[in-house]
Structure 1
Amino acid sequence: MGRYLFRLPDIGEGVAEAEIVAWHVKPGDRILEDASLVDVMTDKATVDMTSPVAGLVIAVSGEIGELVPVGSVLVEMEIEGEGEAEALTEPAAPEPVPTAASPAPPDPPIGAPAKPPVAAGTQGAPTAAFATRAVGNAPPAAPATRRRAHDLGIALQYVPGTGPGGRITSGDLDRYIASGGTIATSASAPVQRDGISETRIIGMRRKIAEKMQDAKRRIPHIAYVEECDLTEVEALRADLNAHRKDGQPKLTLLPFFIRALARVLPDFPQINARYDDDAGVLKQYDAIHIGIATQTPAGLMVPVVRHAEARDLWDCASEVSRISAAARDGSATREELSGSTITITSLGTLGGITTTPIINHPEVAIIGPNKLVDRPVVQGSFVTVRKMMNISSSFDHRIVDGYDAALFVQQLKRLLEHPALIFMD
C-alpha cells in the first residue's frame, strides 16, 4: 500500500489560489477513479476536481470558504501499490465503533451506486426539545395534563414524553416551554421574535461582495439618468417578432441597446475602456465587448457578448440568450465571463423608476435600463400615452467628465427614440 497526495492543480489564467466551496469526500471514504473530490472556485468559475486514482481517503485539507494556493495538498489517500509520497498528516481519528448488537455495513466507494442510508442509533442521547409522532398516533397523557396543554395552547403531538411508555407529564410541558416550544396564540396577537441567524458569506456570494466593495472603494461614481421615449422601438420590436423567420430568436429590448451602444461608442473611446488604476493606464478598445449582468442561482454573473460591433440585431439576440443560459446553468467558460469593455445591467419588469448601478471594475461605465411603462406625455398641444423608460448610467469620474457622460447618453437616447438610425450608416 502507498500514499497519494492530490494537490490543487494549476488551473491557468494566472490563478494563484482558489476557494473551497464544497467537499464530496471525507476521511474513511473509499473512492473510485474519476470520483468527485472537491469543488473549488476561481474568479467566477467553479471547477469540479476529480480523483485520478482509486483508494481510501486518509485526510482532507481545507475548510469550506478557505482560500488555498495552487499546489496545496487537498486530499491524502491510501492506494494500491507504492504510491508517490509520504504521509503529510496524521490519519484522522477513527469514528466511534458501532456496538456488536448493531454492526454498521461498510460504506460503498465514492462514485459507486449508493445504498439506502441506515439511521444511526440514539442510545444515550438527550431527549430532543421538539418531537413528532406518526399521524393518528395519539400522544399518551393524563386528562389533567391534556387540559393544561389545551389551556396553554400546546399541541401534545410535538412534546417529548419522559413517562412510562413515552407518557407526557406536566413536567414535560414545563421543559417543552423552557426549551423554546411554541405556544399557540390568536392570529391577531403579535408574537415577539428574538432569533438571530448567521450565514457565512462564501463562494460566489463572497466573490460578488469583494468585487462590489472593490469597485465602490476604487471608483468615484457619477450617476446620470435620462428619460427616453421607446414607443417607436417597441413597435419595431413587436413587428420584427411577429414576422421573424424560423430559427430567429424572439427579440427583447437588450439587442437594441447593444446595437445602439455599438453605434455610439466609437465616438466616445474613453467610455469603451478599462482603467488599470494601479498602473495608471487607460486601455481604450476598438472591439466592443458588452457584459450582460445576469442573475443566476449562484448569484450575479456578467457573461460577455463579444464583438458587438460585428453583430446584427438577430445575432445579438441569439448571443445574449446563449451566454445568459450558460451563466445560469453553470456551463459558461472563463472567456465567456471576462473581458467586457462596458456592461448593461437590467432588472427587466422589476426595473423600477431609476437605479444607481455599480461599475464593473475595471470598466469605466455601466448602463442600466429601467422598467418600460405607459406614461402620459405632452406632445405639442396634446397629451398622449407613450412607452417611456428611464435609462440609468454610472461613469468613472476619473476618466469620464460629466459633460461627456451626458452627451454620450443623449446620443444613445437619440438612437433608441428613432431606431431607424441604428441601422443607417
Structure 2
Amino acid sequence: MAEHVIKMPDVGEGVAEAELVEWNVKVGDLVREDTVIAAVMTDKATVEIPSPVEGQIAWLGAEIGDTVAVGSPIVKIDVAGDAAASTEPTDETPEVKSKAVAAEPEAKPAKAEPVAPPATEKKPAPASVKSTAAGPTPTGAPRPEGERPLASPAVRLRAKEAGIDLRQVPGTGPAGRISHEDLDVFIARGREPVVTGLRPDTSVEEIKVVGLRRRIAEKMALAKSRIPHITYVEEVDVTALEDLRASLNATKRPDRAKLTLLPFLMRAMVKAIAEQPQLNALYDDEAGVIHRHGGVHIGIAAQTPSGLVVPVVRHAEARDLWDSAAEVNRLADAAKAGTATREELSGSTITITSLGAMGGVATTPVINHPEVAIIGVNKMMVRPVWDGSQFIPRKMMNLSSSFDHRVIDGWDAAVFVQRIKALLETPALIFVGD
C-alpha cells in the first residue's frame, strides 16, 4: 500500500490561497479516478478538485472554511502498490475545473458514491465490542426531529404499544434498521419517558459561513461600514406603463423576449443618467477619486439557490427595450444555472434590486460597493387614488433607492428619482429621442 498526496493546486491568475468550501468525501471513503473530492473558492472562481488516482481516503488536511495556501497538502489517499507515490504538484496535481464565484449551479453535480468494498474484505469486529450481556451494540445514533426511523411494521406496532419513540432507539441493522432485539436492548437499559404533545426544542445548529455566503457577508459589511446611505422612497403610478407592457407583449414577435417592468426601468434610468451622469459612478474612497463612467452598466441583483449574485447588463445605453429584455433573461438564466462567467458578474456602475411580488411596501437597499446608487423596486399593488373628485383604482409601485451621501446630495437623489418617476408614469417619454 502506497500513499498519494494531493496538494492545493495553482488555479492561476496570481492566486496564492483558496478557501475550502466543500468536502465530497470523508476519511475511509473509497474513490475512483476523477471523483470530485473537494471544492475550493478564490476571489474569482470556485474550483473542483478531482482525484487523480483510485484508492481510499486516509487523511483530510483542512476543514470547511479554512484558507489553504497553494502547494499545501490537503488530501492523502492510500493506493494499491508498494512504491511511494510522488507528492510533487507538477505531474501529480489533478486537473481542476473552475466556474464563476457567484454562479454556482442550482443543482450541484452528483457526488461520486464511494466504492463499496467486497464482502470478503470485511473483518468481523472483536467479540468484546460486538455484543454485550444485554444484546448487540447499537450502531445507529438517535435520530433528529423529522427523520423517520427504519423498522418493520411489527416493530413499529410493538414500539407504539410500549410507548417508545423509535427515533430514540439506535438500530443495529443495515442503514440503522431497528429490530425486535434492538427494542429489547433499549428497554433493558432503561429509557426516558416519551414526552407527547408540545415540548421545548433546545437544539442549536452551528452553520459555518463559507464560500459565496461569506463573500456576500463581506461585501455587505464593507458597503454598510464605508458608505453613509441615504434612502429615498417615492410611489409611482404604473397603470399606463402596465397597459403599454401588456399591449406590446400581446403583439410581439415570437422571437422576442417577454417584457417585464425591468427593461422599461432600465431605459428610464439611462435617460435620467444622461441628465445626471454623477449617478453612474464608482467611488474609490481610499484614493479619494470618483470614476464617472460614460457606459451605463446596470447590475441586476438576482437570487439564486447559492445566494445573491449581480449579473451585469453592459452598455444599457446602447440597447433598446427588446434587447434589454433579452439580455436580462439570458443573464438570469445563466446565473441560476451556474454558467455565468466572471465578466458577466462584475463591472456594474449602478444596480437595480427587486424582490418581485415579495418586494414589500418599502425597503432600504444596500449599495453595491463601490457604486454610488442603487434603485430598489417594490411590489406593485392596486390602490385607491384621489383624482380630485373621487377615488379610482390605480396600479401603484414604490421605488426605494439608496445613494452614497458622500458623493450624492439629497437634492440630486430626489431629482434623479423624480425623473425616473415621470418617465415611468408617462411611458411614451421613454421612447422620445430613441
Q: TM-score range by the shorter chain?
A: 0.7 to 0.9
Whether 2:263 is the aligned partner of 1:251: answer: no
* CA distance in 2 between partners of 1:255 and 1:327 (Å): 18
* CA distance in 2 between partners of 1:138 and 1:212 (Å): 50
Q: State the one-letter code of the partner of 2:64.
A: I
Q: Which string of whole-angstrom CA distances, capped at 9 and with x for unpartnered residues, describes residues 112-147 of structure 1?
A: 886569999893545755665312346658xxx95x
Q: How does 1:401-420 map to 2 (within 5 A)?
A: 401-420=409-428
Whether 2:205 is the aligned partner of 1:183: answer: no
* CA distance in 2 between partners of 1:112 and 1:158 (Å): 29
Whether 2:10 is the aligned partner of 1:9: answer: yes
Against the structure 1 CA distance between its residues 361 and 112, is the aligned structure 2 distance closer, same or farther, given a 3 Å change threshold? closer
Q: State the one-letter code of the partner of 2:11.
A: D
Q: Which string of whole-angstrom CA distances, capped at 9 and with x for unpartnered residues, describes residues 171-223 of structure 1?
A: 6695233xxxx4223xxxx5333332222222221211111111111110001
Whether 2:250 is the aligned partner of 1:242: answer: yes
* CA distance in 2 between partners of 1:230 and 1:384 (Å): 14
Q: Which structure has the higher relative contact order (CA within 8 Å, separation 6+)?
A: 2
Q: Which string of whole-angstrom CA distances, capped at 9 and with x for unpartnered residues, describes residues 71-122 of structure 1?
A: 44434567888865469xxxxxxxxxxxxxxxxxxxxxx9988656999989
TM-score by length of 1: 0.79
Question: 2:152 maps to which residue?
Answer: 134
Against the structure 1 CA distance between its residues 235 and 10, is the aligned structure 2 distance closer, same or farther, given a 3 Å change threshold? same
- SS of equivalent to 1:199: coil
Q: State the one-letter code of the partner of 2:294.
A: D
Give the C-alpha shift of residue 381 in structure 1.
Answer: 2.4
Give the C-alpha shift of residue 354 in structure 1.
Answer: 0.2
Unaligned 5+ segments in structure 1 are 88-109
* CA distance in 2 between partners of 1:395 and 1:76 (Å): 51
- SS of equivalent to 2:216: helix
Question: 1:273 maps to which residue?
Answer: 281
Question: 2:21 maps to which residue?
Answer: 21
Whether 2:120 is the aligned partner of 1:123: answer: no
Contact 2:10/2:16 (<8 A) preserved? no
* CA distance in 2 between partners of 1:76 and 1:116 (Å): 19
Contact 2:169/2:182 (<8 A) preserved? yes
Unaligned 5+ segments in structure 2 are 90-109, 132-136, 144-148, 172-178
Q: State the one-letter code of the partner of 1:366.
A: I
Question: 2:302 maps to which residue?
Answer: 294
Q: State the one-letter code of the partner of 1:402.
A: G
Against the structure 1 CA distance between its residues 419 and 123, is the aligned structure 2 distance closer, same or farther, given a 3 Å change threshold? farther
Give the C-alpha shift of residue 266 in structure 1.
Answer: 2.3
- Of residues 211, 227, 231, the one that matches 2:219 is 211
Contact 1:254/1:317 (<8 A) preserved? yes
Q: State the one-letter code of the partner of 1:54.
A: V
* CA distance in 2 between partners of 1:168 and 1:395 (Å): 68
Q: How does 1:23-422 map to 2 (within 5 A)?
A: 23-26=23-26, 32-43=32-43, 45-51=45-51, 53-54=52-53, 56=55, 59-76=59-76, 85=87, 123=130, 125=137, 128-129=141-142, 133-137=151-155, 149=162, 154-155=163-164, 160=169, 165=181, 168=184, 175-177=191-193, 182-185=194-197, 190-422=198-430
Give the C-alpha shift of residue 319 in structure 1.
Answer: 1.1
Q: Which string of whole-angstrom CA distances, capped at 9 and with x for unpartnered residues, describes residues 207-242 of structure 1?
A: 111111111111100010011111111111100111
Against the structure 1 CA distance between its residues 138 and 37, is the aligned structure 2 distance closer, same or farther, given a 3 Å change threshold? closer
Contact 1:132/1:158 (<8 A) preserved? no
Aligned residues: 384
Give the C-alpha shift of residue 350 in structure 1.
Answer: 0.8
Contact 1:20/1:62 (<8 A) preserved? yes
* CA distance in 1 between partners of 2:252 and 2:419 (Å): 28
Against the structure 1 CA distance between its residues 328 and 156, is the aligned structure 2 distance closer, same or farther, given a 3 Å change threshold? closer
RMSD: 3.5
* CA distance in 1 between partners of 2:77 and 2:165 (Å): 50
* CA distance in 1 between partners of 2:111 and 2:228 (Å): 51
TM-score by length of 2: 0.77
* CA distance in 2 between partners of 1:59 and 1:160 (Å): 32
- SS of equivalent to 2:295: coil
Contact 1:161/1:168 (<8 A) preserved? no
Please identify, of 73-82 and 53-62, the stretch whose mean Cα deviation from structure 2 is larger. Answer: 73-82
- SS of equivalent to 2:422: helix
Q: Which string of whole-angstrom CA distances, capped at 9 and with x for unpartnered residues, describes residues 374-401 of structure 1?
A: 1111123232111101100000111111
